[in-house]
Structure 1
Amino acid sequence: MNSDVEKKELLRRGQRVAFVSSLVTLGVAVVKGTIGVVYGSQLLIADAFHSAGDVVTVAASAFGLWLAARKKSEKFPYGLYRAETVASLFMGLLILWAGVEMARDGYLKLLKPEATGENPLFPAGAAILSIIANLFMAKRQKEAGEAINSQSLLAKSRDTWLDTYVSAIVLIGILLASRGIPHVEGCLILLISLLILKLGAETLWVSVMSLLDANLDPDLQAEIGSMCAAIEGVRSVSHVRIRPSGPFRMVDCTIQTSPDLSLYKAHELADQVEEVIVSGHRDIDTVFVHVEPYRRESLLALIPVMSVNGLESVIHEHFGRAPYFAIVRIGREDATLEDFYYNEFLDEKLHIGVKITKAISGAGVDILFTKQIGELAFSLLKERFVDIYLVEGALSAREIIDAYRKNRLLRLHAPTHGIEESESGRAPEQADMKESLSIEE
């Protein structure tokens, strides 16, 4: 989530929708109850009591969202977001209770069917008003619930949609009862009660699972893992855990990166991971990123060599001027030559090392062994989290890997020469030799 202000505004939006829904539901319940009493419609009176019960559930949702909007404090450092989940749990219980009561009423109406010849105009009108009001509220509740990821509002929107069907059944029952066909009323009420029981059980289950920190969104978990793995410098993603907290989520992930990375760079990488996760999902409140050193079965090494001769190829004097590059897979106990790369930039005059680095960037190189490397190429490789080791002497690829295993190679923390020497196309030793000859002359 980008800011606390944005979160509070989203929660206030949910509170407003819940408050308006409470008023509308209460008004409709009063209208249905009054007309039911005046015209003797027991079905309309039962529906009025059902709507009155909905007022309690909406109020519970509003109260939960109000608590969730409270500021974080020393006592509640993670906020009160789960108050909304507790309210959703309470709503699930109330919906179950309403379903049981409606099933009981439907069963009794089957046992003792009633028919009335009264004019159904006003009772039918009250039922139609209830249908229109429920359609309006369900739409608003769903929009607000999806916007702020409020489980209680989404549960209430589903319950309100069912209330629309209940009111439609009430309307049909009133019309059929006025024509002396009461049995249909009891059967339809039983059918609707089963749907309400199903909704209550689902709402209760989701609330309990949320309070138990269950992973309710494996697709989001996989998406976040893929997003983290695509960030340059992240070698592996150990795990991604998502904790639902009311309308928001908290993410805990562990990434692995180069063990030679500085503390500053590791912290910078963790900040980048956090930013990528939060920017793509506004319902994520907090991201915890744990950085671990990368340990895998093998590493991919790049060695500039003078000729193509397998692992016996001898290292070249300079990274950018090597005619070939050996790509070697270094395992725990063995090394495998995977490929040779021809230096297609040998005829270039400037920034050959930079061009080579960009050309091989997609190969997934972990280590570079070199005798000399310029400043620009060195910086670019370090930005790509490639570890660079200095090789002294005319060693073969096999001998270099053996020296690496025995920790005999020095890790470079700076280039061997600057930009000017790289652009002149001369190695430092060559430049020094020419200067010496000039002095002797």
Structure 2
Amino acid sequence: MLAANLISTVGTGITSYLIVWLLIDQLKQSVLYGLLTMATMILVFFASPYLGSLVDRYSRKAIFLYMEITGIVVLGVFSVLCNVSAVLDITLVVMLIFYHTAYDSIKYPALAALTQEMFKKEDYSKVNSSLEVQGQAALMISSGLAAMMIGKMDAAVILVMNISTFIAASILIYQLPYQRNAEAEEHSNTMKNESYWKNFRSSLQYLCYRKVLFVLLLTSFIPSIVIIVANYLDPVFIYDYLNEGPSVIGIANIVYAIGAMGAGFVAYQISKKWSDMQGVILFMAVFALATIAIFLVPNAVTFIVASLFWGHSNAAIRVFRKSYMFHHVDNAYMGRVNSLFNAVKLLGQVALIGILTITVVPAGQTVYGYFVLFIIVIAALLTTTYLFNRTYNKDKEKRVSL
């Protein structure tokens, strides 16, 4: 499974870079790209109930496999028909963007549910750490390959190479020794007799009965929301506020990736001594310190160093959060719970970017944007710490009474 995910992630990574290059550089459709980005975000938000239910209704292995096979077909059609006409090329790229969005929105909830289903509880931290290291490695590999190929090779040739990664991933996924357990199969059959909306409502009821779990997971997603918002804020801060060049952002992206890659190893070692939520709290504190440092000492060096700790802490939090979810969310609900939080995360990103766009950015004070992000992270950290301590103390009292 790890090999299949690595190969397919490299392929989709190259494809994502190719899409942007084709639409903006070759077809000169930068406005269309912006509109499509907004459209896909809205689509994913409203489609989340359906996508999450889809993952919980059917075999996760089958979903993973069908997504790869669909990718082979979509990229195959594109490679054959591209360069026929400008209108057709634009149409094909639009289709590719929607496929790529659907692929990511379905694959990652399915992968999480499949991982939880296939591995033992004692292996969750190790597997999630391995997946994190692998994901960051795939990102670096795809970025490097994209830089070497895009603009220097024909788009059709690059697509054919990407198709080969989907084929290889499909073969590996097909060979996975996967068998759905009886409980999951029974729950799946029950879901198929209900509407997708009813399936989704049952996941909301599931979380409503577990309010502490819901809030802990919600607050642990805050750093990942902040990272996406910072991707919007960073260029404005570097170019307009610090008056620095693109090299600063380039170096920051490299050290971010290095920090993120090392997080998988560090998180696994810490998980041997600390609980998942203690790990989340630790790295949320590191994330908060890195964020406020940019506000207190706004210069290029601080920004680059903060990027290293951002990458490391955000990736580590993701590892611990996944392991915590695997231990506390029933596998029958994993797809819907993941999709729900993805929708909430998307809503948070849009809201924060909107607030910063009409406040600190027009005023030329983007540095205050990092202070706003720091306040949000601190609020999430304090909430997480309070709820964890309360839950921990209750469990401790129960053990003492026994």
Q: TM-score, normalised by structure 2?
A: 0.27
Where is the helix percentage greater, Structure 1 or Structure 2?
2
Where is the strand percentage greater, Structure 1 or Structure 2?
1
Q: TM-score, normalised by structure 1?
A: 0.25
Q: Which structure carries more relative contact order (alpha carbon 8 Å, separation 6+)?
A: 2
